[in-house]
Amino acid sequence: MVLFSKSVPALRGLRSRAVSYEGGSYLLSSCKAAGSSDHYATCAKLSEDPVKESSPSDMLIDSFGRLHTYLRISLTERCNLRCQYCMPAEGVELTPSSQLLSQSEIVSLANLFVTSGVNKIRLTGGEPTIRKDIEDICLQLSNLKGLKTLAMTTNGITLARKLPKLKEFGLNSINISLDTLVPAKFEFLTRRRGHEKVLESINAAVDLGYNPVKVNCVVMRGVNDDEICDFVELTRSRPINVRFIEFMPFDGNVWNVKKLVPYYEMLDKVVAKYQGLQRIQDHPSETAKNYRIDGHHGTVSFITSMTEHFCAGCNRLRLLADGNFKVCLFGPSEVSLRDPLRAGAEEDELREIISAAVHSLLLMIPWSKERKLHMLECSTLQKLQIGR
């Protein structure tokens, strides 16, 4: 499952002041309006003193004390489905290909994060498998020293034929999105055909030894909430982890609270039919509430994005296909890592930008041709919208 959301931060001007440091200077001045062509947003914390080089470990620790060791990388904005909960029927406006990260840029930035402490990378999109160099990207990322998990979230349409090579090249965890077990309903939800191909991909993942094969299911009232127990049956004899996800609001998906099926209601349906449901001890950074059922080889999970948020343990960072970096999926602020990378920024300079983003005050950061970094200080972003 891939969720599209446009960023529209509300910025307000502040007085100007300059801060000098070895190798350049920061110019803090009035913020330009969101959407300005020569500025892009991030979260950062700035003092009156010159900016000091962050140690790799400090770079990934935010102002709430959370250590971010999990990086999600969007490989493309394109998708071969048009899921109703994900994007409008007409699709989304795509970024020109020249402004998207190249394979070498993806690997370079990923290496920067991994050498700083990230140990898990998840490839997303759009739909990551439609990128032609997906196998090469997996091979290079899996060879990064210190990376423990290379995962992918996919809709499964083209996965089955590519998965053997992807596994050979280091992809060791897979999530496949499937919201219905009814072919006609699948076509209605995705506005495309391909239900049989997704099932084929799930079977291929099981046959190749992925354990568990994670199946993501967005539950919507009156649409597929009557299939919850049918999905649970997938876990009876195979190493499948069905992950029921609460319906979330994103731009263009015509979200309606009446469609939301809360976690406790989904759980009640499972409890009513199955005996011996046991909660699994979750990792502090886990987004899902995980359960085992007596006699089942697989497991069942619930992702409570709407009713019980998991922000306190969040350890995720996000690199978008255009090179913009986000600390919070629901936060409006982003900073471009592509622009300074293409302008020739050194690793230490990129670390400063990342560290600033992870430290939770809103800034606007433009790059000049002379590679002088300017920062525009703005107001606090309501604690990264932690309560959302």
At residue 378, does pLDDT exceed 70?
Answer: no
Measured CA to CA, the distance from residue 374 to residue 368 in angstroms comes to 8
3-state secondary structure 189-216: HHCCCCHHHHHHHHHHHHHCCCCCEEEE
Lowest mean pLDDT among 22-31, 228-237, 285-294, 357-366: 22-31
pLDDT at 386: 28
At residue 119, does pLDDT exceed 70?
Answer: yes
Kind of pairing between the strands at 149-154 and 173-177: parallel
- For residues 372 and 271, the model is more confident at 271
- Model-level pTM greater than 0.85? no
Measured CA to CA, the distance from residue 325 to residue 323 in angstroms comes to 6
Length of the chain: 388
pLDDT at 152: 98
Order of strands, sheet of 213-219, starting from the edge strand that comes earlier in the sequence: 277-279, 288-293, 299-303, 240-246, 213-219, 173-177, 149-154, 120-124, 70-74, 316-319, 324-326, 335-336
What band does 62 get if pLDDT is binned at 50, 70 and 90? confident
Q: How many CA atoms lie within 13 A of 102 on its CB side?
A: 7
312-347 tens-digit pLDDT: 788 999 999 999 999 887 777 899 999 999 999 999
150 touches 113 (CB < 8 A): no
At residue 375, does pLDDT exceed 50?
Answer: no
pLDDT at 361: 39
Which long-range CB contacts under 8 A does 5-9 form with residues at least 24 apart? 5/250, 5/251, 5/329, 5/330, 6/251, 7/34, 7/41, 7/326, 7/332, 7/333, 7/334, 8/34, 8/35, 8/332, 9/34, 9/41, 9/332, 9/333, 9/362, 9/381
Kind of pairing between the strands at 149-154 and 120-124: parallel
Decide: helix, strand or coil at residue 376. Answer: strand
pLDDT at 41: 33
Give the closest residue to 164 by CA, choosing from 129, 131, 196: 129
pLDDT at 132: 95
375 touches 26 (CB < 8 A): yes
pLDDT at 247: 86
Where does residue 293 rank: exposed (0-12), middle (13-18), buried (19+ CB within 10 A)?
buried
User: For 209, left (φ over 0), alpha (ψ -120 to 50), or beta?
Assistant: left
Which residues make Cβ contacts (< 8 Å) with residue 388, sequence separation at least 6? 309, 311, 330
Rg (CA), the chain: 21
The amino acid sitting at 28 is: L
Residue with tokens 């002379």: 370
- For residues 364 and 275, the model is more confident at 275
